[in-house]
């Protein structure tokens, strides 16, 4: 009986000397949310593939003038429809322009449209979503019914009408993309804000006298950013497809400015005689959208706090 | 008896139940807190017990104006606070703090512990820079954590440690009263004792006043000086701890107390089993809300609302049967 007692005491003493363990804990690195996300992301093979794909595209687009010796407007009428060769690795088109060069410069336009429109649309969506979610009530009702309305509008017909009215400059295309792509982000962010708004750390902040603005920016948005980042990534790919579709229909980017869409459009006529004219822009659209979707999926898993560090 | 720090007079919080999407119509009222009055003295712990859904937490949040009261008054140090402007209230928040039940939901997962505890200091301009860091370390030490923990994130801590962080955050502004909203209900029993002891130590050290909300009668008995029993949005009995546990007067209090497990199988006891469920606060029974489940109910109980009366000095009860 007494020995048992003594053992128990020893146990208590062992527990009392906990500081030693605490010191060990200090040596372990402390992982912030972003560090955790990065670790999860690194282990996601598809995400890494997606990241590499997008990085390659970005490098090709940014350094286009250094990569290709030709300019995208340079005509060589003596060398039309040249099949791929060492001089023109992707061949030339009906005006003797180097297809590889036009792909690179077209990539600049496509990526610019994709990034600029997705970024602005996501910022706008975050604004609408967080206002609706945080303030609730009639404001929520108003903003969300507006969002619903925008979502129910058939996008393609309206895009066609608007772009033919406004004209197909790059700025106009970006503007149109923004108008038609902020809604999903707004709904996602609203949902996330609603979930986190109920949590006690928001009540704690209010009990401490933290202002509404600070609650939104310091407490709610950092927690609600994950779905917004994911939707932004997927949106880049989506908007590149939209831009290509519009340009393909002749309503987007106008030649001579190259875009993958208008290259495809011009290639239709020559699909049997010079198939490389259609294959390359098609492949690049595929490659880009796939890259962004892989990246988005990876980010979704990495940023999800419920997924464990595998 | 010490001076009154906080006085709640006829406090009422009704949540409207609405129908319709655009043209909303109020179709009912959830009477979460219904005409509640009590006082808290400086330096004491007032326990507030009741079943889930009886309005305990709503009462605490309404006092802090995290929810706006439907009617009634709350006086704090001689000032009525429900009518204060946003800025006056913001100043007052330094005096009144809250600790939450869920140690996982009450800390922002994206902020370091240092940022969480430092935020109140920052927004009230109590400290900046080095002084802020120093104060955060002090607060962590006060609640039994290490200053090194400031750089960590909440997910790296256990439930009990997180609750300590929540306590440190509340202490940062040097409050006079802390509303403890079931601060130990979500913790393991072994950890509960640690946190309760911490709260008691802090009370002695800083002269804090607590409104301690709980549903665990044993915990409330341990920590409270006086206890209020709540049923369906109303306080039915309020008295000192000794008086309540030895001489409960309200039938509901008696039933609650008889449900406390006694760790001795030899002791014979009469448990008062309440029949049925708690009625909905949306349409509470008329008269005494408890009459539907009261074994002593008389006709008058379903007709008249029982008066809130002081039967013995400091012993208040609302029951027709107690004369």
Nearest to B66 among A26, A33, A207 (CB): A207
Enumerate the domain spans of chain A.
Answer: 48-68+105-303
Segment B60-70, tens digit of pLDDT: 999 999 999 99
pLDDT score for A20: 42
Average pLDDT, chain B: 89
pLDDT interval class at A128 (50, 70, 90): very high
Chain B residues with beta carbon closer than 8 angstroms to that of A211: 123
With residue B229 as reference, give the H or E element that holds it: strand B226-231
pLDDT score for A3: 52
Of A198 and B209, more confident: B209
pLDDT interval class at A149 (50, 70, 90): very high
- CB-defined contacts A:B, below 8 A: 76
CATH number attached to the domain at A48-68+105-303: 1.10.3720.10
Enumerate the domain spans of chain B.
Answer: 4-19+28-95+175-247
Tokens 């410069």: give the residue: A105
Chain B residues with beta carbon closer than 8 angstroms to that of A205: 108, 119
Flag whether pLDDT at A208 surpasses 80. yes
Angle ∠(A59,A62,A65) on CA atoms, nearest 5: 110
User: B207, B175 in Cβ contact below 8 A?
Assistant: no
Segment B45-65, tens digit of pLDDT: 999 998 888 888 999 999 999
pLDDT interval class at A279 (50, 70, 90): confident
Q: pTM, whole model, 2 decimals?
A: 0.79
Q: Which of B22, B67, B87, B110 would best serve as a mutation to test chain A binding (most A beta carbons within 10 A)?
A: B110
Q: How many CA atoms lie within 13 A of A289 on its CB side?
A: 14
User: A207, B89 in Cβ contact below 8 A?
Assistant: no
Least confident of A133-137, B107-111, B258-262: B258-262
Residue B80, min C-alpha distance to chain A (Å) = 17
Segment A87-119, tens digit of pLDDT: 777 777 777 778 888 888 888 888 999 999 999
Taking the C-alpha atoms of residue B35 and residue B52, their distance in angstroms, rounded to an integer, is 19
Q: Output phi, psi for A199, to 5 deg.
A: -75, 155
Chain A residues with beta carbon closer than 8 angstroms to that of B105: 199-201
B4-19+28-95+175-247 architecture in CATH? 3-Layer(aba) Sandwich (3.40)
For range B121-128, the mean pLDDT: 89
Segment B292-316, tens digit of pLDDT: 888 888 888 888 888 888 988 889 9
Contact B98 A203 (CB under 8 A): yes
For range A205-211, the mean pLDDT: 91
């Amino acid at each position: 009986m007494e020995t048992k007692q003594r053992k128990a005491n020893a146990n208590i003493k062992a527990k009392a000397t906990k500081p030693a363990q605490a010191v060990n804990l200090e040596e372990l690195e402390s992982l912030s949310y972003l560090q955790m996300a990065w670790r999860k992301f690194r282990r996601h093979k598809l995400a890494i593939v997606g990241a590499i794909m997008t990085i390659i595209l970005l490098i090709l687009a940014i350094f286009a003038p250094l990569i290709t010796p030709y300019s995208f407007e340079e005509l060589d009428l003596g060398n039309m429809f040249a099949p791929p060769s060492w001089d023109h690795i992707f061949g030339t088109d009906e005006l003797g322009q180097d297809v590889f060069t036009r792909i690179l410069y077209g990539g600049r336009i496509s990526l610019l449209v994709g990034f600029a429109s997705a970024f602005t649309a996501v910022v706008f969506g975050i604004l609408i979503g967080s206002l609706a979610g945080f303030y609730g009530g009639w404001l929520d009702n108003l903003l969300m019914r507006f969002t619903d309305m925008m979502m129910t509008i058939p996008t393609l017909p309206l895009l066609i009408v608007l772009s033919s009215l406004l004209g197909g400059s790059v700025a106009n295309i970006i503007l149109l993309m923004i108008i038609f792509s902020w809604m999903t982000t707004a709904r996602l962010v609203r949902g996330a804000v609603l979930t986190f708004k109920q949590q006690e750390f928001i009540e704690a902040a209010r009990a401490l006298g933290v202002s509404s603005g600070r609650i939104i920016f310091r407490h709610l948005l950092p927690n609600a950013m994950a779905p917004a980042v994911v939707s932004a990534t997927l949106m880049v790919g989506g908007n590149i497809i939209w831009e290509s579709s519009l340009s393909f229909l002749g309503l987007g980017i106008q030649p001579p400015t190259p875009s993958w869409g208008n290259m495809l459009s011009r290639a239709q006529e020559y699909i049997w005689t010079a198939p490389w004219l259609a294959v390359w822009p098609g492949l690049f659209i595929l490659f880009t959208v796939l890259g962004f979707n892989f990246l988005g999926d990876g980010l979704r898993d990495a940023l999800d706090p419920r997924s464990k560090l595998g | 008896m010490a001076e009154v720090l906080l006085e709640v007079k006829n406090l009422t919080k009704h949540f409207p139940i609405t129908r319709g999407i655009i043209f909303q119509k109020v179709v009912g009222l959830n009477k979460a807190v219904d005409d509640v009055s009590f006082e808290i003295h400086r330096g004491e712990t007032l326990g507030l017990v009741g079943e889930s859904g009886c309005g305990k937490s709503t009462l605490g949040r309404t006092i802090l104006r995290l929810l706006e009261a439907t009617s009634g008054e709350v006086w704090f140090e001689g000032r009525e606070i429900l009518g204060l402007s946003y800025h006056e209230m913001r100043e007052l928040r330094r005096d009144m703090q809250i600790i939450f039940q869920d140690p996982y939901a009450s800390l922002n997962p994206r902020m370091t512990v240092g940022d969480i505890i430092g935020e109140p200091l920052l927004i009230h301009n109590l400290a900046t820079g080095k002084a802020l860091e120093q104060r955060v370390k002090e607060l962590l030490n006060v609640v039994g954590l290490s200053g090194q923990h400031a750089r960590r994130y909440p997910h790296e801590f256990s439930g009990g440690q997180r609750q300590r962080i929540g306590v440190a955050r509340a202490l940062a502004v040097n409050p006079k009263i802390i509303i403890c909203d079931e601060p130990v209900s979500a913790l393991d029993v072994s950890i509960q004792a640690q946190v309760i002891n911490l709260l008691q130590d802090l009370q002695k050290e800083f002269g804090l006043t607590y409104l301690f909300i709980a549903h665990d009668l044993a915990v409330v008995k341990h920590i409270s000086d006086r206890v209020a029993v709540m049923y369906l949005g109303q306080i039915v009995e309020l008295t000192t701890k000794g008086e309540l546990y030895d001489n409960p007067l309200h039938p509901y209090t008696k039933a609650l107390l008889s449900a406390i497990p006694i760790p001795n199988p030899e002791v014979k006891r009469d448990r008062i089993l309440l029949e049925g469920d708690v009625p909905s606060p949306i349409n509470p029974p008329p008269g005494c809300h408890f009459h539907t489940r009261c074994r002593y109910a008389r006709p008058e109980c379903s007709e008249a609302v029982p008066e809130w009366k002081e039967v013995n000095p400091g012993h208040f009860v609302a029951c027709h049967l107690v004369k």
